[in-house]
Amino acid sequence: MDKILLSKTGKLQVPEHPVIPFIEGDGVGAEITPATQSIMHAVVHKAYKGARSIAWKEVLAGEKAFRTTGSWLPDDTMQAFREYRVGIKGPLTTPVGGGIRSLNVALRQELDLFVCLRPVRWFRGVASPLKEPSLVDMYVFRENTEDIYAGIEWEQGTPQAARVLDFLTREMGVTKIRFPETSAFGVKPVSRQGSQRLVRAAIEYALLKKHPSVTLVHKGNIMKFTEGGFKNWGYELAEEAFSGQVFTMNQYQRIKEQKGKVQADAALEEAKSSGLLLIQDVIADAFLQNTLLRPRDYSVIATLNLNGDYISDQLAAMVGGIGIAPGANINYLSGHALFEATHGTAPDIAGKNQVNPCSLLLSGAMMLEYLGWSEASHLIHTTLESLFEDGYATHDLARFMPNGTSLSTTEFRDKVLERVAML
């Protein structure tokens, strides 16, 4: 069995026929996963004529795992992702009650997949609420392991919440809790290490793919030590580790203070014209507004966990919604990566042959790109674009297209396969 390895220099070593573990997923997973696999098989075959192929290995998680093994997330599944390094998954039901808060969170934590990468691009033909959706070309690097999202919280009315309140008021001298007796409490850990490994991944990605900027998105104006820390550590890392390759808005500020605005503007222009990567920052609320008004100002985005959650979904909605938004959870240090449909199990349409497979399919395209199989990845993008331009899509997208033809999941899959065969 061919495994993906990591070289001593940290580069992925991908065999020609790698084993890729996959989780089918609950609900619509049973429809989107086989559709995605058949299209991925077709593009890989088209691009490499049999010299490369994927050896799929099913691993269980979610309802299917629970039915078969009594565990929502069997150890064998974790072991397979650890061992084979790169995998893909359909959506999973969040178990209600019981020990597991979320299977997705458990997978991310177990493999320390610290980046949630969500690329956002517009496909010609897809309806968008923006005037110029073609200007959207963004890559959200969301920190995946820290922040208020880490799930460290205590329920109101419990002895634990009372102890936290006691500690805060007596030992830490906190006086700002408005309704102390009826408060629940959460903790927001944000570290220099966690922030810098995320920002490093974003900068390296931007340099590799020749993107013009990395924007640190935060609420450091209010949460000075956590979100403000993220911004400061991000700038610090950029200037220390990428000196000569980047120009930061911190540098701009320093020049402005020392030499005035004219000189600072000139330095910024000089940096841009010499191809340096611009590192800037923006407050999260302004960012959300700006993405609608001036999408061309943003390219690679680095942000904390909770901000990233909101931002990813807003950006997805700007170019067609969750049915078409791909995503991946990656540890760039170990090479572990899990590509996934970003939507849920869609129980309202499960089994009806209506679901849009594009979120998982485009995640599959991201996976191919990650493996270095760009030619096959590119075929998925060009095929989807040509279908959308002709108005062919599943109902969620086709209903908003002026020339839309609504196709079922299997009809859409067959159209994709037909076009790939014609290329």
346, 365, 376, 380: residue in contact with ligand NAD (rule CB under 6 A): 346
Strand partners, 248: 279
Q: Give all strands (DSSP E) within 115-195, no chain letters.
A: 115-121, 137-143, 153-154, 185-186
392-395's contacts with Cβ under 8 Å and 24+ in sequence apart are: 393/125, 393/126, 393/356, 394/323, 394/354, 394/355, 394/356, 394/357, 394/358, 395/354
- For position 145 contacting ligand NAD by CB under 6 A, the verdict is no
First to last CA, the chain: 31
- For position 93 contacting ligand NAD by CB under 6 A, the verdict is yes
215, 356, 377, 383: residue in contact with ligand NAD (rule CB under 6 A): 356
Please give the DSSP secondary-structure letter assigned to residue 322: G
Q: Which of 188, 219, 231, 415 is catalytic?
A: 219
- State how far the Cα of 317 lies from the Cα of 136, in Å rounded to an integer: 12
8 Å CB contact between 144 and 116: yes
Q: 18: how many CB neighbours lie within 10 A of its CB?
A: 22
Q: In the complex, what is the shortest distance from the CB of residue 14 to ligand NAD, in angstroms, rounded to a whole number? A: 25
Q: In the complex, what is the shortest distance from the CB of residue 81 to ligand NAD, in angstroms, rounded to a whole number? A: 15
- State how far the Cα of 302 lies from the Cα of 308, in Å rounded to an integer: 8
Nearest-CA neighbor of 114 among 191, 202, 198, 196? Answer: 198
Check if 298 is active-site. Answer: no
- For position 248 contacting ligand NAD by CB under 6 A, the verdict is no
Q: Which of 26, 139, 147, 149 is catalytic?
A: 149
The interface with ligand NAD within residues 282-341 (CB under 6 A) comprises 322-323, 340
232, 345, 363, 386: residue in contact with ligand NAD (rule CB under 6 A): 345
Closer by beta carbon to ligand NAD, 93 or else 215: 93
Token pair recorded at residue 321: 């919604």
- Stretch of 44-52, 85-93, 129-137, 139-147 lying at the interface with ligand NAD (CB under 6 A): 85-93
Q: Which of 297, 309, 313, 390 is catalytic?
A: 309
197, 336, 343, 413: residue in contact with ligand NAD (rule CB under 6 A): 343
Q: In the complex, what is the shortest distance from the CB of residue 277 to ligand NAD, in angstroms, rounded to a whole number? A: 31
Closer by beta carbon to ligand NAD, 278 or else 355: 355
- State how far the Cα of 297 lies from the Cα of 126, in Å rounded to an integer: 22
- For position 349 contacting ligand NAD by CB under 6 A, the verdict is yes
Check if 390 is active-site. Answer: no
What residues make contact with ligand NAD under the rule CB under 6 A? 91-94, 104, 322-323, 340, 343-349, 355-356, 359, 396
Q: Which residues are designated catalytic?
A: 149, 219, 285, 309
